[in-house]
Structure 1
Amino acid sequence: MLVFPGILSSDNATALLRRTLSKTGYSVHPSGLGFVTGITPETMARAEARLKAVAQAEGRKVALVGWSLGGIYARVLAQRHPDLVELVMTLGSPFSGDRRANNAWRVYEALNDHKVDASPLPDDPAVKPSVPTIALWSRNDGVIAPASARGAPHERDAEVEVPFSHFALGSARRSIARIVTELGDRLNP
């Protein structure tokens, strides 16, 4: 399993999530992307290299979990490399609809040399990868619009509503317990 953090964070933000998944029996790896400020061709190339390295080390397809912007990385990786990906789970990720339907787009644009709706990548994260996808979303998110994180029915296989704020989705113990349950229903450690 490969876990991607959100914007303005690093693998430190997903440490509790990764430790908990490891204790559950999964082989879990950090993204290795460093401090994430956006998506660029260079960071996507590093994410692709990381996915390939983890799949080779594990000798199997890799489940991808992405929190917020990390879910965009996960979906695009699965679109590009379905042969290496078992499943994608997004946690409050703005993959659907208007890219400005969230409270982080101004921050994104301030940190990057492109507009939030003019990605330097040709990929559209709303396109459902050919692998199973689960979108965890919350009416209480506070950062990402629920419809953007839930996606339309043709953009994901499953959607799971949770009662957590955006910053709790990948760090609060109750939220992590729900993530473990949802993954456990779909994956074998």
Structure 2
Amino acid sequence: MKSVELTPPSATLLVLEPLRAAADYVAGLAPLAAPLPHGDGHPVLVFPGLGVSGVATSDLRKRLQQLGYEVHDWEQGVNFGPGADNDLMLERLGDHLRQIHALHRRSVSLLGWSFGGVYARQLAAKYPELVRQVITLATPVADNSDATHAGWMLNMLSSGIPPINHAPTRCSDATAPVPSASVYSKTDGIVAWEGCVSTGSTNHRNIEVEDVSHLGMVHHPEVLRVLADLLAQHPDGHRQVVMRAAGQ
């Protein structure tokens, strides 16, 4: 994907991000307005966002398990983002992916939140024969490391650990011969939504969810509905299309 000039979300969205994330979390606790499609039991591998571990995705994984999927954490602790050891991390994640595939004897859906989606996309490009589909939540795919507040956020969360090295994220727009979808929100306070929209593949969807925070992506009920719909679909490929979650 060609480099585009993007800027980080506004200071207002950034400042409001924690409050809105809390609201998204509370919204996720409310009963669903309509039942979600039940899954077919295939395995789903979930990658956490920048600066957090699988603990942050535990609620989402539990909900997906309740829908009938075999859900797995990435099992690599805190996600400090792609850095100098990116190749080693991909090797570890590839071993984990192969283990899950062998255990269930079925292709695996990869679900990545924020910079966790970078790993999901890279794995799908490297091991397409093991992957059913890739779904990313608020994941930057454009080649523009200045379009997020991620470095500042990671430095704050990690109490002074040097900020993320963004250079390897240029691999995040790697394409693979598997269906993929990018879920994004125009009210994301961490990552510029324009950078989450990919046009590099005819086997891809861009799906907008309205009024969702970056940190609340893994809790918001509309995001869960989108995920349930995507995971329940037969892996027969998708056309490139920009969609809105509301009113589909």
Matches within 5 A, 1:66-145: 66-107=112-153, 111=161, 115-116=165-166, 118-119=167-168, 124-145=171-192
- What amino acid is the match of 2:123? L
Matches within 5 A, 1:12-31: 12-31=55-74
Distance 1:126 1:58, change over 3 A: same
C-alpha displacement of 1:186? 4.4
Q: 2:220 aligns with which of 144, 169, 172?
A: 172
Tell me the SS of whatever aligns to 1:28: strand
Instruction: Specify the alignment match of 2:201 in structure 1.
Output: 154
C-alpha displacement of 1:53? 0.7
- What amino acid is the match of 1:80? K
Q: State the distance in 1 between where 2:139 and 2:48 align.
A: 11
Q: State the distance in 2 between where 1:54 and 1:144 align.
A: 30
Tell me the SS of whatever aligns to 1:50: helix
Instruction: Specify the alignment match of 2:87 in structure 1.
Output: 41
C-alpha displacement of 1:177? 2.8
C-alpha displacement of 1:107? 4.6
Any stretches of 5+ residues in structure 1 without a counterpart?
Answer: none
Any stretches of 5+ residues in structure 2 without a counterpart?
Answer: 1-43, 236-248
C-alpha displacement of 1:97? 3.0
Instruction: Specify the alignment match of 1:55 in structure 2.
Output: 101
Distance 1:53 1:145, change over 3 A: same
Q: State the distance in 2 between where 1:67 and 1:114 align.
A: 16
Q: State the distance in 1 between where 2:219 and 2:75 align.
A: 18
Q: State the distance in 1 between where 2:164 and 2:221 align.
A: 35
Over the aligned positions, Cα root-mean-square deviation in angstroms equals 2.2
Distance 1:113 1:170, change over 3 A: closer
Tell me the SS of whatever aligns to 2:201: helix
After superposition, the C-alpha distances for 1:76-123 in whole angstroms (9 at most, x for unaligned) are 00000001001000000012231221111345587458731x22x8x7
C-alpha displacement of 1:178? 2.7
Relative to structure 2, which stretch is displaced further, 7-16 or 153-162?
153-162
C-alpha contact (below 8 Å) 1:92/1:138 kept by paired residues: yes
C-alpha displacement of 1:124? 1.6
* Larger of the two Rg values belongs to structure: 2
Q: TM-score, normalised by structure 2?
A: 0.68
Instruction: Specify the alignment match of 2:46 in structure 1.
Output: 3
- What amino acid is the match of 2:229? T
